[in-house]
């Protein structure tokens, strides 16, 4: 079947790779930032800023990154423009406010519930932090799933800094946009349904793993 050609499958796999790596990269700084934010008392302004950035238009972030990576931009020597790496960086930045804003509330509640108890029982601060992260891991995984869903479904960054280059930076969303512009609606619909199915499978799988982890 033409709509399930090797190019379509390659495009979907590239989407999963770019968005998956971007989400994992974002977690490396989002979780520590969430923990630090959860320890602070007055964070209303920061929370409002994060919630604002959650809804940032992806095309705006893509445009800002384009200016940074372009030949006249400050990061031009890195030669990242129109590469998968630029898309990964962009999507990692995109999902950071979402992951932090959802994770820090979980961590704040866990700190209130477990931190003083752990310290009163003789646990060190590192042990208390480990306990808190363990207890909130299902929620953090859920935040990561939301971040991944946001990344894999975005179009602006992939188009602006990826360039929609066939076989190199073309991902499912840019392929769908191209297919619609060409009138190839069947292929665009198949790509969309494949993305939806994959996100559902990923969400269910991670939920199951988190439940197993909690029981263990």
The rounded distance, in Å, linking the Cα atoms of 60 and 63 is: 5
pLDDT per position as a tens digit, 129-156: 777 778 788 888 888 988 998 999 899 9
The rounded distance, in Å, linking the Cα atoms of 154 and 164 is: 13
pLDDT of residue 131: 77
Residue 168 sits in a domain whose CATH number is: 1.10.3720.10
Three-state SS for 55? coil
Contact 154, 199 (CB under 8 A): no
Of residues 4 and 139, which shows the higher confidence score? 139
HSE at residue 96, side-chain half, CA atoms within 13 A, is 17
pLDDT per position as a tens digit, 59-68: 999 999 999 9
User: Model confidence at 111, in pLDDT bands (50, 70, 90)?
Assistant: confident
Give the domain extent around 89: 2-215
Average of per-residue pLDDT across 38-58: 84
How does the average pLDDT of the chain come out, rounded? 86
Contact 160, 57 (CB under 8 A): no
What predicted TM-score, i.e. pTM, was given to this entire model?
Answer: 0.88
Q: For the chain, how many structural domains are there in total?
A: 1
Three-state SS for 82? coil
pLDDT per position as a tens digit, 183-202: 888 888 888 898 888 888 87
How many helices (H) and strands (E) the chain has is answered by: 9, 0
CA neighbor of 94 nearest in space, from 165, 153, 175: 153
User: Model confidence at 3, in pLDDT bands (50, 70, 90)?
Assistant: low
Alpha-carbon torsion angle 159, 67, 26, 195, nearest 10 = 0
Measured CA to CA in angstroms, residue 174 lies from 11, 155, 209 at distances of 9, 6, 31
pLDDT per position as a tens digit, 80-93: 999 999 999 999 99
Alpha-carbon torsion angle 15, 17, 19, 25, nearest 10 = -160
Contact 198, 20 (CB under 8 A): no
Of residues 214 and 137, which shows the higher confidence score? 137
Residue 1 has pLDDT above 60, yes or no: no
Of residues 121 and 45, which shows the higher confidence score? 45
């Amino acid at each position: 079947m033409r709509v399930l050609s090797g190019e379509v499958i390659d495009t979907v796999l590239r989407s999963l790779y770019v968005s998956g790596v971007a989400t994992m990269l974002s977690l490396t700084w989002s979780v520590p930032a969430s923990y630090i934010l959860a320890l602070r008392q007055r964070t209303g302004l920061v929370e409002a800023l994060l919630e604002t950035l959650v809804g940032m238009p992806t095309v705006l972030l893509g445009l800002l990154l384009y200016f940074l990576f372009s030949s006249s931009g400050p990061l031009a020597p890195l030669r990242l423009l129109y590469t998968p790496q630029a898309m990964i960086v962009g999507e990692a930045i995109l999902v950071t406010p979402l992951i932090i804003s959802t994770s820090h509330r979980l961590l704040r509640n866990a700190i209130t519930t477990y931190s003083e108890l752990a310290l009163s029982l003789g646990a060190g601060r590192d042990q208390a932090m480990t306990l808190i992260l363990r207890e909130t891991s299902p929620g953090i995984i859920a935040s990561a799933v939301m971040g991944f869903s946001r990344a894999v479904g975005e179009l602006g960054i992939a188009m602006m800094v990826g360039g929609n280059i066939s076989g190199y930076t073309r991902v499912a969303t840019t392929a769908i946009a191209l297919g619609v512009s060409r009138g190839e609606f069947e292929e665009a619909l198949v790509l969309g349904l494949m993305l939806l199915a994959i996100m559902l499978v990923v969400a269910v799988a991670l939920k199951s793993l988190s439940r197993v982890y909690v029981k263990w």
